[in-house]
Structure formats: C-alpha cells, structure tokens
Amino acid sequence: MGNYRNKLRKAGCMEVAVNAGKRSKSSPDNEPSHLNIKRARHAEVNYLPDLPQGHDASTLEQQRVEITEEVQKAEKIVVDKKMQMTFALRRNEIITSPSPVKEILGRWPALRLESQVCAEFQRITNQNLTNTFYAELDRHSFRLMTLYRQRAAKTGKTADALAEFLRVHDLQANKNQSPVKLKLFKRGVSKDADEYDIQCGSNTDISVVQKVSFPSKVPPLKFKTICEVKEMALKQKELRLDDSCFQRYFRLSRCRFDDLLSHVGGRISLQDTNYRCCIPPAERLSICLRYLSIGDSFWTIASSFCVGVSTVCKIVPDMVTAIWDCLVEESMAVPSTDEWRSIAEGFEERWNFPLCCGALDGKHVLIKAPPNTGSQFHNCKGTFSLVLLAVVDARYCFRVIDVGGYGRTSDGGNSAFGQALCGGTLHLSPDHPLRS
C-alpha cells in the first residue's frame, strides 16, 4: 500500500502529496510524520482534487483575478464557470495554508453569494445544501418547537418574541390542522391515561394513534416519536395515491400488494401489549417487500421505516416464511400429470423439443458459513454456498424449486426434487414413443 501511495504522489495526486515531506532518513529536520496531518472531514467527497488538465497554479490564479472582476459586473454564468474551473486551486489554498475566513472571502468574493455557497457545498459533498438543510430542519422541527415553547415560558425580550411567534403559529395550526390524541397507558391494573394533543395535517386525512407505556421505576422503552409515525403514514398514503410510484417502490402493484396482504395478514398479525403497539401487518409486509425489491442493508431499511435494525432482522425472515407457506400450494404447487403433459406440449410447440417436461438447472448461492457446520457448505470453488435448484417450463416460468442443499454437493445434488424423480412420485405422464 505504501508503494502504491508513493506512485500516486509521484504522479501528482494532490490528496496523497499534501501529507508528503515529513521527517524521514533523508530529511531528518522536517516535522514529525504524525503532526499536521491533513485528512478529509466527514462528507467531504472531493477533499483535494487535482488541478484541471492543461492548467497549473498560475493560469488558475489568472482565472481567480477575472472572477473578482466578473462578480462586480454581476455576470452569474461566467462566475459559475470560473468558480468551477478554479475549485482545485481554492481547495488547495484552504487545506494547505488555512487562512482566516475574512482573508479567504477577500480573495474569493464570489463565495459571498448564496448561489456560490450552495454550489461549493455541492462540489465538496455531492449533496444539495438547501435540500439537506430543510430535510434536517423538518426532522428536528418537533423538538425545536418544544424548546421554543420552553424558552417562551420565561421572561425577557427573546421570550416575548418567541411567545408572539408561537401564538401566530398556533392560530394558523388551529385553522388548517386537527388534533390527534396520544395515550400513554400506565403500568398496573388501572387504565388511567394521560392525553396529549399533537397537531396533524387535516388536509391529509390521516389520524395516527401511537400507544406507548413507561413501566414504573424502569427506564422508558424505545418507541417511535409522533413525527416518525406521521412521516411513515404520510409516505404510505402518498405511495398509494400514485400507482406507478407504488410499483417502483415495492416492485408490486397496489392491487397485488392488497391481495398478498389478505393472504398473509392473519398469519403475521401480532397482539398489542401494555408496553408497546405491535407493528401492523401492512407495515411488516412493506418492510419485507422493500428489502426484497432493492436488496439494501437492514440498517437502511430500518431508517426508512423508523424501526430498529433488529426488528427488520426479525421481520424479513418471518415474512418470507409466511409468504411461502401461504402461497406455495396456490402458486408453486408440484404440477399434476395433466400439467406435466401441458408443459411437454409447450416445449414441443415453442422449441421443437418433444417429450420435455422442463428445463432444469442449479446455482450455488454464496453465503457466510453457518457456525459448527464443518465443510457441509464448502463447495469445489473454495467458497461456502447453498444450492438453488429450479425447473422452468417453455415460457421461463418456475414450476418447481428446491433451495437449501449443501454447497459440497453438485448443482443437482441430493435434492428433494431428485429423490421424487427417482422414486416416481412426481406424477409424470406415462412414457410415449417419439414421433418419426
């Protein structure tokens, strides 16, 4: 790795060369290697880019002088192009010789413009500054309003200004929004509850009730905040209003989603307790389908649905098992004798391949070796895998699948399908002579 970095430094890569020149055998008088190390901060994707091809520091310095003149002329398009061109020079100045902000703004007056601040943030992080700021503001708005109300309860000019601001806010909220009650059930036989009014948008026609409880003398359990519940409910309602968006999000139409939920809903429904509300069947199915559609990490799925990572780890395998158990007889039942005959006719008609009851193939799916399994899942390629075996008809539709064979066996190893085929329990049609 050190040799690779040396090659990058000699090739002129500035991100590597910026930390070069430290104390070594050939230069013992330089500063120690662990001092003044320059490294990228969080989210700085373009930390120290190389100079544009065909330019050096002198030509880019000329561009900087021209930017100063163009800012005075208010030539926005020209300023944008030159600021993009001189980005590498600007980052080199900021990182290698950090100067006061006033001095940097004196050399780069375009950074005083709001548009250039947003553009510079985009260049460094590859994120939109305005969208990122407002998204974080929306995420913390509920907590900010709570802090403002606590501040407004005190005395002073700031408190009076906040109180007037909140009074106007409440008047507008009362006109446009309807309250939703949140009940906090106490531990014990008594069903007494404290009720709190939380403002929810009435224009969305959504009523969210989230039940949580705090056991006596026990720290409160982790639960969804009202903002998270509202955000999740709004997201699901918006998806249902747009069929194409729903299809892209879940890889499933809205009608098929409802039909699948009607099949598995009774099996995946859980019971509410005094400590927490269970996750509804529709949300559990949404989490599973979202994971199956994009294959993202459990952490990302948990953040999208405002649940814990361990919750997603439990929901996904439970939901997949429930879907298989509920639909296997309807969608993946072993073909009958008539269906085998129909499959054979399809192969002969479509592919001119007579007396073929299916195309069979297997695949090794790489896995992490389960504990205490020895070499059962170790395959001939030196990895660990499960065997996926499938039979398709003439139109590439899966008719029989077998998943879970040990990786040490071949693609078509000792599977349940192979045992049924050898044992004559697949209900294949009787032998027929080939047509001449």
Please, what is the average pLDDT of the chain? 76
Q: Does position 316 have pLDDT exceeding 90, yes or no?
A: yes
Q: pTM here?
A: 0.45
Give bridge partners of residue 398 from the DSSP assignment: 392
pLDDT at 48: 78
Lowest mean pLDDT among 68-77, 194-203, 229-238, 344-353: 194-203
The Cα 202–Cα 79 span in angstroms is 46
Q: Does position 118 have pLDDT exceeding 70, yes or no?
A: yes
pLDDT at 313: 93
367: nearest Cα among 401, 404, 398, 402: 404
Mean pLDDT along residues 386-415: 82
- Domain spans in the chain, listed from the N-terminal domain onward: 40-130, 141-225, 242-330, 337-423
Are 177 and 184 in contact, with CB atoms under 8 Å apart?
A: no
pLDDT at 178: 45
Q: What percent of the chain has pLDDT over 70?
A: 75
Buried b (16+ CB within 10 A) or exposed e, 175-213: eeeeebebeebeeeeeeeeeeeebbbeeeeebebebbbb
pLDDT at 203: 39
Work out the number of other CB atoms within 10 angstroms of the CB of residue 37.
Answer: 9
Q: Does position 236 have pLDDT exceeding 50, yes or no?
A: yes
Lowest mean pLDDT among 349-353, 388-392, 402-406: 402-406
Q: For residue range 1-40, what is the model confidence (pLDDT) as tens digits? A: 557 667 766 766 777 677 766 666 667 777 676 666 777 7
Q: For residue range 158-176, what is the model confidence (pLDDT) as tens digits? A: 777 777 777 776 776 665 5
Mean pLDDT along residues 75-95: 85
